[in-house]
Amino acid sequence: MKKSILYIASLIVAAAGFTSCDDDKAMPPLPVPGADQDIPANTTTILELKEAFNDPDTYSYNKVIGEKPDGSHYVISGTITSSDQAGNIYKNIMIEDETAGLTIAVDQTKLYQDYKIGQTLTIDCTGLYIGGYGNCMQLGGEPQPGKDQPGRIAEEIFAEHAFVHGFPAVVEPQVVTVPEVDAARKDNTEFLAMQSRLVKFENMEFENPGEPLAIQGSNTSRYAFDENGNRIQLYNSGYSSIWANTLPSGKGNIVGILSYYNREWQVLLINLDGLQGFSGSTAPVEHIFEESFAAGQGEFTIENDNLPDGLQYVWSADSRYACMKASAYAGGSDHAASSYLISPEIDLTGYTDVKASFDQALNFYSDIEAAKTESTFVVREAGGQWEVMEIPTYPSSLSWSFLSTGQIDLSKYAGKKIQVAFHYTSDRKAGTWEVKNLKVNGFK
């Protein structure tokens, strides 16, 4: 969007420059895109189109858009609010008018070159398909074999049905709150109107700041929450150009396209400009050290401070759940034990803002508070003493469900050579601790 506006501005400046060189020759006005197109007078609002073909009780479906009862076509016009330049939105164009937003599936890449934010897009919808994809309505083409939702419109067919007119312009998002969009789900008209709009959520905070927007090569859900704990999902593409950029810390505004899938609202970032006013950096994070434990303990070593009689080991690899597991329960009895699962040396030279995270499951402890003291994440400098680190996020109850710890702050060890370890202890009640997907990240 900014590049488009700057491009127009540069043309205006250039025009002024030519005029100053030769005052006798007037610079012809810039041609307005679409000025030579006949815009049909009988248009339909986006909300009217959606309501005419909506099937609110069907998860995914498609319908062919025919003519109106009077023989006229369904023609809509809306302002383009999306761009696929960063790749977080793929083969989709989002438009909106004063009544609603709409997603259009087009089988074309680099749509941003032909369909720019702020331009008006007019579409003759008759002959195309419309339907739901995960309860979110979209305009598209003939469905793919075995699929219920509309497919993507072939590039040449879309060119026959649609054209842009007017210059790119700044589009202001609609300011919304999480409770407002949640409430819209309960009213079908509001639900249809809210889908695919450009929105802004103000004063939000991310659950896992410092994590990349997405996992490379995988679409990834991240969550932000407001001051009352109401959550909204960000759905980010691991194939985009911004996947490695990090979720910032602090509070700020989130601007993006409001979509819906699988009974949950999603915000689709257009680019990094959609993260506004946060205090933390969105710079790409570097992976310093990783160990998934999917293939066993890797280069980690095990040191037992206390391995009592009747207990052969504390730590073991669990191939079924691709994790390392610690327990001091054996032979029908709880044992008192202490054991470390210790990493190789990790070199943090040149790194700042270092964070660690891992997934953990906790069960069979006396309670969750006991689990916090008997299953700790510790760090030491080479040759130093272990220090217990604060884990930001714990499960609310004991279970076998894995939960990310969030970002564990290791900044005090930046620039040093360290080891990290998982320290398991037990006394009268031996819990079971499962860990996997350890990551140490930082910035250079």
Average pLDDT, the chain: 91
CA atoms within 13 A on the CB side of 318: 16
Segment of 3-7, 36-40, 165-169, 374-378 carrying the highest mean pLDDT: 374-378
Angle, vertex CA 214, rays to CA 212 and CA 220, nearest 5: 140
pLDDT tens per residue across span 333-382: 999 999 999 999 999 999 988 999 999 999 999 999 999 999 999 999 98
Q: Give span(s): CATH 2.40.50, the chain.
A: 31-165, 174-284
Judged by DSSP in three states, 295 sits in coil
Residues with Cβ within 8 Å of 374's Cβ and at least 6 positions away in sequence, in order, are 365, 424, 425, 426, 427, 431, 433
| Cβ atoms of residues 434 and 314 within 8 Å | no
- In whole angstroms, give the CA distance from residue 370 to residue 367: 5
Q: Give span(s): CATH 2.60.120.200, the chain.
A: 287-443
And the tokens for 204?
């939000």
Dihedral sign of CA atoms 161, 165, 170, 173 in order: negative
Residue 331 has pLDDT above 80, yes or no: yes
Amino acid residing at 108? Q
Which pLDDT belongs to residue 174?
Answer: 98
Judged by DSSP in three states, 44 sits in coil
CATH numeric code, 31-165: 2.40.50
The third-level CATH classification (topology) of the domain covering 174-284 is OB fold (Dihydrolipoamide Acetyltransferase, E2P) (2.40.50)
Measure Cα distances from 295 to 359, 404, 434, 437 in Å: 16, 20, 14, 11
Instruction: Tabulate helix, strand, coil % of the chain (nearest 5).
Output: 15, 40, 45
| Cβ atoms of residues 378 and 303 within 8 Å | no
pLDDT tens per residue across span 387-422: 999 999 999 999 999 998 988 999 999 999 999 999
| Cβ atoms of residues 443 and 281 within 8 Å | yes
- Spatial CA neighbour of 362 closest among 392, 334, 329, 401: 401
- What secondary structure letter does DSSP report for 103? E
- What secondary structure letter does DSSP report for 166? S
| Cβ atoms of residues 137 and 234 within 8 Å | no
| Cβ atoms of residues 430 and 328 within 8 Å | yes
Whole-prediction pTM: 0.69
- Spatial CA neighbour of 232 closest among 204, 272, 251: 204
CATH numeric code, 287-443: 2.60.120.200
Alpha helix (H) residue ranges in 118-171: 155-161
| Cβ atoms of residues 124 and 75 within 8 Å | yes
Question: What is the arithmetic mean of pLDDT over 156-183?
Answer: 96
Which pLDDT belongs to residue 28?
Answer: 60
Residues with Cβ within 8 Å of 229's Cβ and at least 6 positions away in sequence, in order, are none
- In whole angstroms, give the CA distance from residue 229 to residue 334: 39
- In whole angstroms, give the CA distance from residue 208 to residue 187: 32
- Among 5-9, 135-139, 194-198, 242-246, the range scoring the smallest mean pLDDT is 5-9
Q: Which helix (H) or strand (E) holds 14?
A: helix 2-21
pLDDT tens per residue across span 244-288: 999 999 999 999 999 999 889 999 999 999 999 999 889 887 889
Amino acid residing at 270? I
Which pLDDT belongs to residue 138?
Answer: 97
Dihedrals φ, ψ of 382, to 5°? -55, 120
pLDDT tens per residue across span 31-67: 666 666 666 666 899 999 999 999 998 999 999 999 9
